[in-house]
Amino acid sequence: MTSLANLRVIDAATLFAGPSAAMMLGDFGADVIKIEHPRRGDPSRGHGASLDGVGLWWKSLSRNKRAAAVDLSQAGGQEILRRLAANSDVLVENFRPGTLERWGLAPADLLELNPRLIVARMTGFGQHGPMARQPGFGTLAEAMSGFAAMTGQPDGPPTLPPLALADGIAGLAMSYAIMVALHAREQTGRGQVIDMAIIEPILGLLGPQMTAYKALGVVPRRTGNRSSSNAPRNTYRTRDGRWLAVSTSAQPIAERVVTLVGRADLVEQPWFGSGSGRVEHVDELDEAVAGWIAERDAEEVIARFEEVQAAVAPIYDVTDIAKDPQYEALGTFVELPDEELGTVTMQNVLFRLSDTPGEVRWPGRGLGHDTDEVLGELAYTPEEIADLRGNGVIA
């Protein structure tokens, strides 16, 4: 049994944030129907690395989803979405505000068809406000949230992440919002509309920057790999050229680290008793830790840290991740059969449930792979399906 086995989700979103939320629901058994344009497909098919012309990001992002190719800008496609919405629990969409309304598919209309429907709207800037109708992507959220301003070296430029960070955070937040709305439906019997702006969830992960700014006028600054909240916290190079990360967020860990590197005297300093106090003396702390680590190979450093129960980890790239025994023990990656590529490896579900575990059942499928099956479930006849295909409404 899977947790969401009786849930049907329409994924009519593109690229990353909305589809990520739908993917997480599919990982735990929801029947996710991915709607793509019949000629262009989802843009994520062309993002990132590919093998034999097949996008690998798509394989992971659209796993566990049935692929239906429907042109929602045509009347026939709009009728398909109405029928789907009437028989589904969740619709995830990320069209610019006003698009669904222009197509006669406004949330109010869909909720009239199905009062229990959850309409999850994911846009760059939300459904109202001066920027609502502007194109919005995760990169803009990373810029506008303060993330880029506080990321990078102190004397360097603001730095954007090399991944779809804001989209991923928004996807996690949307999956949570959907589950909250579904739980509320159990109490009220009614669905509702979720309005999520990608610029907002990333703000929540950056800490109480607005609270500190309003109370104290604090504007976060770039600190490189250091932390503005505790020290020592940095990356350090070993004698054999490896890079290690050290964290001392907890006071006892900070005490163990400086004692290990031969500076137990620092623990007695009055400023050492708090993270903010240690930040004021970060140069002295970093010098002690960096010097000690630089005189030893990575294997020895890690072993010594483990002996005193201090927090250290090697800086990995994907070649290290692929052979790490902890990831192997957790079953973090799965290899799946694939109709296009033979086999494909991807990350497993994000967490383990003891009674109703999730599962990656299949990778992302080819364009229109399940269109006929989905329309058949909506009572379309083979002749009607052929007519829709002939008119370019489906693929």
Collect all residues with Cβ–Cβ distance below 8 Å to 256 and sequence separation of at least 6: 308, 309, 310
Could you identify the residue written with the tokens 């052929």? 386
Collect all residues with Cβ–Cβ distance below 8 Å to 313 and sequence separation of at least 6: 244, 245
Q: Alpha helix (H) ranges present in 189-297?
A: 201-205, 209-216, 251-260, 275-279, 282-294
Rounded CA-CA distance 230/286 in Å is 12
- State whether residue 278 is helix, strand or coil: helix
Collect all residues with Cβ–Cβ distance below 8 Å to 378 and sequence separation of at least 6: 80, 83, 84, 87
CB 383 within 8 A of CB 27: no
Rounded CA-CA distance 212/218 in Å is 6
Rounded CA-CA distance 112/114 in Å is 5
- Cα–Cα–Cα angle for 302, 304, 309, rounded to 5 degrees: 90
**Active-site residue (options: 167, 286, 338, 370):** 167
Rounded CA-CA distance 157/196 in Å is 29
Q: Backbone phi, then psi, for 213, in 5-degree steps? A: -65, -45
- How far, CA to CA in Å, does 345 sit from each of 32, 166, 322, 326, 338? 21, 24, 11, 17, 10
- State whether residue 8 is helix, strand or coil: strand
> Is 52 marked active-site?
no
**Cα torsion for 264, 268, 270, 273, to the nearest 10°?**
60
The residues assigned a catalytic role are 167
